[in-house]
């Protein structure tokens, strides 16, 4: 019997440490390394037709059309926590387990969230740019303190809770909205539960930590932005489609909010995003999860689950466990 064939599409997989990729090969699996490739590459399309396990990232949309081309597929291994690029219902209809790596990058994303907050509050990019351009703007650049400000978290899941813990160090007041309310955690840390509208109106900083779903798409639009304080910042390290970028750009240009820190975009790379032309926004290229520790945990975590699946076990973070029930 030939060894199981793993098609690796996820660009960040084993990008900073070859050990996870080598672990798949040492386990005797056939590995096709097409990191960064896609369906436009005929070699990738051929490998997809032979693959039994697809290790994918955020670039490939694993939908019905892709699954139809993967006739031998037995499982979908999604690197990272987000599942918006995988059609779970389509995979389930084909009785394909889908598993991912939630929690591996919680700390990295929380750190990045605060990096964006502080960069906005203290106008770090303007300070850096001015010095490089030989300008000494010692008394011209005025920042704001985040100490004792009000942070509004839309989403109090694993990452939202990590952000909340960091905010406590700045003695911030914390508001949050989440339909799956973590009662014990919120009570322990004095987090106030509010509706989204009230959160937008009261928060000095609004930070998004929700998955992209049909319900959350363009959750932050012109109407939502109009409820925020003119002095408020918006932070998005979750998914790009949650924010209507055209509406955000208009709000920033017109001074209806003070600034934004954006790591994710409606289209990536964001070659035509209106946010690229605006000064009071700090932009990063979907790198919130990209720490050595976070990437290593994601890669090793997905390898552990692939090897468990090959051994006949149910992967730890399977999102559609019903596929393991008898047909």
- C-alpha atoms less than 13 angstroms from C-alpha of 72 in its C-beta half-sphere: 13
Going from the C-alpha of 254 to that of each of 101, 193, 224, 230, the distances in angstroms are 40, 30, 15, 10
Assigned token pair, 194: 């509010």
Which residues are designated catalytic? 239, 268, 286
The full DSSP string for 278-294 is -SSEEE--S-TT-SHHH
Q: How long is the chain?
A: 327
For tokens 């985040």, what's the residue?
Answer: 146
Tell me the HSE value of 219 on the side-chain side, using a 13 A CA sphere: 25
Q: What CA–CA distance (Å, rounded) separates 98 from 268?
A: 24
Residue 15, CA atoms < 13 Å, CB-side half-sphere: 18
Task: Report d(CA 178, CA 51) in Å as an integer.
Answer: 38
- Residue 152 DSSP class: E
What's the N-to-C CA distance of the chain in angstroms?
A: 25
C-alpha to C-alpha distance for 120 and 125, rounded to whole angstroms: 8
d(CA 46, CA 172): 53
Order of all β-strands in the sheet with 259-262: 192-193, 173-177, 150-154, 205-208, 233-236, 259-262, 281-283
Write the DSSP string, 77-94.
Answer: EESSS--TTB-HHHHHHT
């Amino acid at each position: 019997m030939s060894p199981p064939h793993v098609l690796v599409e996820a660009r960040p997989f084993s990008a900073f440490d070859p050990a996870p990729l080598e672990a798949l090969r040492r386990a005797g699996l056939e590995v096709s390394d097409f990191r960064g490739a896609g369906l436009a590459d005929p070699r990738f399309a051929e490998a997809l037709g032979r693959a039994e396990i697809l290790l994918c990232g955020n670039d490939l949309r694993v939908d019905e059309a892709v699954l139809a081309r993967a006739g031998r597929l037995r499982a979908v291994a999604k690197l990272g926590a987000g599942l918006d690029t995988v059609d779970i219902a389509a995979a389930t209809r084909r009785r394909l387990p889908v598993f991912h790596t939630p929690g591996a990058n919680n700390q990295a994303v929380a750190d990045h969230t605060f990096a964006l907050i502080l960069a906005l509050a203290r106008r770090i990019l303007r300070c850096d740019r001015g010095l490089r351009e030989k300008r000494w703007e010692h008394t011209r650049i005025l920042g704001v303190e985040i100490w004792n400000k009000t942070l509004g978290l839309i989403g109090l899941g694993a990452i939202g809770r990590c952000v909340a813990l960091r905010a406590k160090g700045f003695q911030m007041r914390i508001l949050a909205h989440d339909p799956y309310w973590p009662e014990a955690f919120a009570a322990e840390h004095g987090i106030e539960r509010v509706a989204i509208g009230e959160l937008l109106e009261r928060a000095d900083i609004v930070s998004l930590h929700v998955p992209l779903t049909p319900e959350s798409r363009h959750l932050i639009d012109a109407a939502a932005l109009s409820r925020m304080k003119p002095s408020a910042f918006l932070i998005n390290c979750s998914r790009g489609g949650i924010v209507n970028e055209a509406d955000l750009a208009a709000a920033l240009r017109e001074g209806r909010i003070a600034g934004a820190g954006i790591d994710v975009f409606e289209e990536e790379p964001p070659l035509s995003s209106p946010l690229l032309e605006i000064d009071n926004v700090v932009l990063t290229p979907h790198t919130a999860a990209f720490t050595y520790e976070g990437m290593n945990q994601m890669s090793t975590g997905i390898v552990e689950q692939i090897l468990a699946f090959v051994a006949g076990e149910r992967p730890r973070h399977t999102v559609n466990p019903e596929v393991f029930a008898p047909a």
